[in-house]
Amino acid sequence: MHRKLRIAMIGGGKGAFIGSIHRLAFSMDGHYELVAGAFSADPIVSQNAGEELQLSRDRVYPSFHTLIHQEALLPTAVRAEVICIVTPNHVHYEPAVLALDAGFHVILEKPMTFSLGEARSLHKKVLASDRFFMLCHTYTGYPMVKQARQLIQAGLLGEIRKVFVEYPQGWLHTYLEGSKQKQADWRTDPNRSGLGGAMGDIGTHAFNLAEYVSGLQVSRLCAAVNTIVTGRKIDDDGAALLQFNNGATGVLMATQVAAGAENNISIRIYGEKGGLSWKQEDNNSLQIVWPDRPAECWRAGTGYLSEYATHNSRTPAGHPEGYLEAFANLYRNFALAILAKENDALPSAVCTDFPGSKEGLRGMVFVEAMIKSSQQQTWVEFTH
């Protein structure tokens, strides 16, 4: 099981943000070797990126179509095994489907697709495939997020009653797309982003975190989605009342116009016995509150944590871990699951604890439900 998986990347060329993050994350544990890429729709940009990454010129492709076709023709011992897709949303579905059809494992940036129809189709494709599929909801990779989930599943808080999740950002508080800034340009373009702007970009993260930690599913919501910045074509702010499948209620907020805010995604969950809270700005801490005794602060890297949190911790208590390590945890678990299957072993539960197409489909249901509810000014049921 101690070998590197050969990985190819689609997207992630010059000016991209998330591509370099993926490369840092999959390099961290030594489970992957980057062997090929189609880094841009511009063949010259793709080739330049390949040269910077010291790839062989014949493994740097002018398009994702060419990459998938040519890599599939290579000998099994040489060709890429995993395809990582880090393109804008409108270029998620086609390469993912082609890669699965060609026998590659797939890692895909969120949201899963451009539209709900594509999400339904891709989810069916994944279920019918014998390949592994991972969607990059990074925040589920934090050890104390996993600890929170385990405590709730163990019944520490009793029946869950309230869920509050928020993701405030401020980087789009001005008309940044007017300056042709690459990341703002495509994220605020409905032809590339899809139905949701902020709701698709960070709202899906908040939604996924709420369901992952609570272990519940949203059954319906009532939303107000806004476009605050003048001239913007798509939403940059929104909030919703949530109702979960056990009867619990909650509130979700996601905005990209909170001037000065960075990326402090946070969650609070309250049950009949007590509550817990976690925030990215202090991601190594998990706060537990009780009605009849002092509050507790659980810390990453300590000996009293669950198997899931321990497996996803890298340093002793007090040494900061963060976003890159959480990202790398997803990649490591994905690799361990693939290698276990390759060796006819059953992957352990801690290694298969990464988001997949089911979470991707629910994320797209969330985006559509948010927009529909806001437009109709009413509660909307969740339906797949």
- The DSSP-derived string for 258-321 is -TT-----EEEEEESS-EEEEEGGGTTEEEEE-SSS--EEEETT-TTS-HHHHHT--S-TTS--
Point out which residues pair with 36 in neighbouring strands. Answer: 8
**What pLDDT shows up at residue 297?**
98
- Say if residue 348's pLDDT is above 70: yes
The CA-based angle 199-205-207, given to 5 degrees, is 80
**What pLDDT shows up at residue 83?**
98
**What pLDDT shows up at residue 383?**
81
- Mean pLDDT, all residues of the chain: 96
The DSSP secondary-structure symbol of 60 reads B
Confidence of residue 1 (pLDDT cuts 50, 70, 90): low
Q: How far is CA 304 from CA 280, 292, 326, 346, in A?
A: 21, 22, 20, 26
Is the Cα torsion angle 107, 330, 111, 180 positive or negative in sign? negative
Mean pLDDT of 219-233: 98
- Are 197 and 177 in contact by the 8 Å Cβ rule? The answer is no
- Say if residue 2's pLDDT is above 80: no
Supply the CATH classification number for the domain 142-315+361-381.
3.30.360.10
- Say if residue 100's pLDDT is above 90: yes
Class assignment of domain 5-139+330-352?
alpha beta
- Are 274 and 288 in contact by the 8 Å Cβ rule? The answer is yes
**What contacts 111, CB < 8 A, 6 or more positions away?**
89, 92, 194, 196, 200, 201, 204, 360, 363, 364, 367
The CA-based angle 174-17-109, given to 5 degrees, is 105
Q: Is 203 exposed, middle or buried (0-12, 13-18, 19+ CB in 10 A)?
A: buried
Q: How far is CA 122 from CA 66, 116, 195, 335, in A?
A: 21, 10, 17, 21
Domain ranges within the chain, ordered by starting residue:
5-139+330-352, 142-315+361-381
**What contacts 174, CB < 8 A, 6 or more positions away?**
229
**Over pLDDT 70: what percentage of the chain?**
99
**What contacts 124, CB < 8 A, 6 or more positions away?**
none
Q: How far is CA 127 from CA 103, 300, 356, in A?
A: 14, 34, 10
- Say if residue 77's pLDDT is above 60: yes
Q: How far is CA 143 from CA 317, 326, 342, in A?
A: 12, 8, 27
Mean pLDDT of 167-196: 95
- Are 106 and 100 in contact by the 8 Å Cβ rule? The answer is yes
Point out which residues pair with 223 in neighbouring strands. Answer: 240
Give the separation between CA 275 and CA 290, rounded to whole angstroms: 7
Amino acid identity of 115?
S
Sheet with strand 249-255: strands edge to edge: 296-299, 285-289, 275-279, 266-271, 160-168, 249-255, 237-244, 218-226, 380-381
